[in-house]
Amino acid sequence: MFAEHQQGEHLFFEIAGTSVTTQKKVEAVASRMGTGYIDVNQTLPNGQPNPSFKQIYSDSIFATYTYNNEITEGRAAVAFVLDKTRWGDFRANVIAGARRIDNEVLGYNFVMDRDPDLRRRAQNDFFNYRYYWNQLDSSLVVPDQVKYVDPVAGTTTTYNVANILDLRSPGNFRKSDTTFTYVQTALNAKLLKGRLNLIAGARKDTLKRNLYTMNGSANSVAADYPTNWDGQTAYYRPLAPADYWDLTYRTRDASGNITGTATLPALSRPRDGTGAPLPQYANDRFRDDFSSPNVDVSLTTFTYGGVGHLLPWLSAYANYAESFNPPGAGITINGSALPPGYSDGYDFGLRFILMHGRINASFGRYSSTQLNNSFDNTGQTRKYANLATANVVGNLDPNGLNNRGLAEVPSPTFDFRDQEAEGYEIDIVANVTKNWRLSANAGFPKTLTTNDNQQQWAYLNANEATLKQIVLDAGALLDANGVATVDTSIPVGNRSPDVTAAATAWNDIQNFKKTSDPTVRSYSDQPKFTANLYTDYRFSSGLLKNFRVGGGVQYIGKKAIGNRGGDTIVNPANPLAAIDDPAVDATTRVYMPAYYTTTATFGYEHKFANKNTLNLALNIGNLLDEDRLVYISAGLRAPNGDISQPNRVTMPTSYLYLQPRSYSLTATLSF
């Protein structure tokens, strides 16, 4: 609802309010089926022939997510207008508002009622849905009961099916309440009979957010839930205390006696193999006992600029602005809330109106700095998650954890970086004749990334020694170059089920260290040059009257998609091993080649006797049907595909295809 009021000729008022409630349910099954398998079972569990023998299939749990949002907002504004004074025209306004957002995300899964402890069923009694690729039109039906076949024991048991909170993935659940207030004012003045236009503004933002999470592993979260849990209610950790970052503890024996002299940071609560808290630490506080720390931010930003019409055909403009981005609802790998984003920048340039308005051109330069640019870094932090859940040798528990007290990594996780940008832009529009139009524009951006992966580096610097011990505990070997491999001398039946993932994770960490340096200002993955050229012609007489034809080309310059900091060469002293390639490093970039696409357009306009107008338009995208690959990232691969060689070289890997030639026909009737 809103209400507006004008008082006299100069004052304007408005008040408004909004209330929104949204509830969304997402069924996540097909999106999880990213891997194909081949069914090698010739018979079904009941002994009958398997009709899908040798067929490809994918399978996944049938998870459901609910997203609940309640948003309430109110605002008030007043504006003052004073025109045609001896000094010029003036406008001023003030607007203030507040917004309250309550948000919750929960995930559920279908499970069997097998485990008598309801809290453990999400981990132990879930089941997958299978889709055969030759039967993709088959429907997904949630059964009321399932038969559990144990081929070892030779038993078949029927269990009821229930939909409960998926405690296997507690990091996916979160709840937040956010209060956001703002007040801003703007001033505009037209001076010297409109030849000079000035604008200035200021804004103050205040953000307060309480974020409730389920910190901890699936085992620990389940152990902390009440024994009479109903399967539906979500229990979050309490809000973090003021001394959250300063929590410490001392090691104790089973009787509660202090055994160590060192005071340790209280990151995660010590627990037994089932996830239950160790009783000797009942009076200690640990960070994972609490939700992520709250956000309390207040910031004032400014903007000012102007446009001067120097000559009838020449204008100049300049502007400076600051902006504030409220932090998202995610958390970092270290369990902290995301910081707010802040940026400032300026732009200035010239605008030309030539040949009585037939040619309009602008030339501009810009520069900006952005701090705390957050991004989803879940894929990068998966290597740490694999180490946190790596069992020691001899521990075959599928839900086990490391033996060094390293807490599980939250998911999803976010990180942040700083960025600097500058560049030039050119834009020209020319009416060459009455019917012939030509437009062209080009950009020359230069974007640099600094302080990249800030949270990941902080986590690695604090925990690398522990991560190394976890790799060794899992049964991996480290050679002189720090490369991890599985220790094949350990009997297969006694190996940690996580040793291969742990070795891979450690090697990924070493590659990250080689290819990422937070102290280096590196070019971001953005084209160094982009340009567009388009022209069209409208026929005004003859058989083709009101028919138009046009064409254009878009050029995308090369851009960096990786670096060669992780490259290796064959060790001259040992042809079976690889060492770092001294000829390249993280500043040696790998580029995506430049490419272009073309477009053709056709149109026709017909006016009816009743003054209605029909417009027909045909657009042909990728006119030349370019089918090249557009590489978007790079990775390590064997040189020339020879996997017998120990060394690896960074090459373009992930790619996209250009959209093939496409046709779009539209019709618009104006009446």
Instruction: Tell me, yes or no, whether 622 lies in a domain.
Output: yes
Instruction: Tell me, yes or no, whether 174 lies in a domain.
Output: no
Q: Give whichever of 38-42, 120-124, 393-397 has the largest mean pLDDT.
A: 38-42
Q: Give per-residue pLDDT as tens, 470-493.
A: 999 999 999 888 889 999 999 988
Q: How far apart are CA 194 and CA 89, in angstroms?
A: 8
**In the chain, how many domains are there?**
1
Residues sharing a CB contact under 8 Å with residue 537, sequence separation 6 or more, in sequence order: 435, 436, 437, 548, 549, 550
Of all residues in the chain, the percent with pLDDT exceeding 70 is 98
Confidence band, pLDDT 50/70/90 cuts, at residue 112? very high
Instruction: Tell me, yes or no, whether 361 lies in a domain.
Output: no
Instruction: Tell me, yes or no, whether 520 lies in a domain.
Output: no
3-class DSSP state for residue 336? coil
Whole-angstrom CA distances from 28 to 31, 58, 161, 323 are 6, 14, 18, 36
Instruction: Tell me, yes or no, whether 608 lies in a domain.
Output: yes
Nearest to 133 by CA among 218, 242, 56: 56
Residue 273's pLDDT is what? 75
Instruction: Tell me, yes or no, whether 417 lies in a domain.
Output: no
Instruction: Tell me, yes or no, whether 237 lies in a domain.
Output: no
Residue 52's pLDDT is what? 93
Q: Give per-residue pLDDT as tens, 521-543.
A: 877 778 889 999 999 999 999 88
Confidence band, pLDDT 50/70/90 cuts, at residue 33? low
Confidence band, pLDDT 50/70/90 cuts, at residue 34? low
Determine the structural domain holding residue 618 and report its residue range.
Answer: 530-670
Quickly tell me which residue has 């504004």 as its tokens. Answer: 77
Confidence band, pLDDT 50/70/90 cuts, at residue 398? low
Task: State the average pLDDT over residues 169-197.
Answer: 92
Q: Give per-residue pLDDT as tens, 583-620.
A: 998 888 899 899 999 999 999 999 888 889 999 999 99
Task: State the average pLDDT over residues 249-269.
Answer: 87
DSSP designation for 640: G
Residue 287's pLDDT is what? 87
Strand partners, 665: 618
Quickly tell me which residue has 């809103």 as its tokens. Answer: 2
Instruction: Tell me, yes or no, whether 652 lies in a domain.
Output: yes
Of all residues in the chain, the percent with pLDDT exceeding 90 is 59
Q: Give per-residue pLDDT as tens, 357-392.
A: 899 999 999 999 999 988 888 888 889 989 988 999
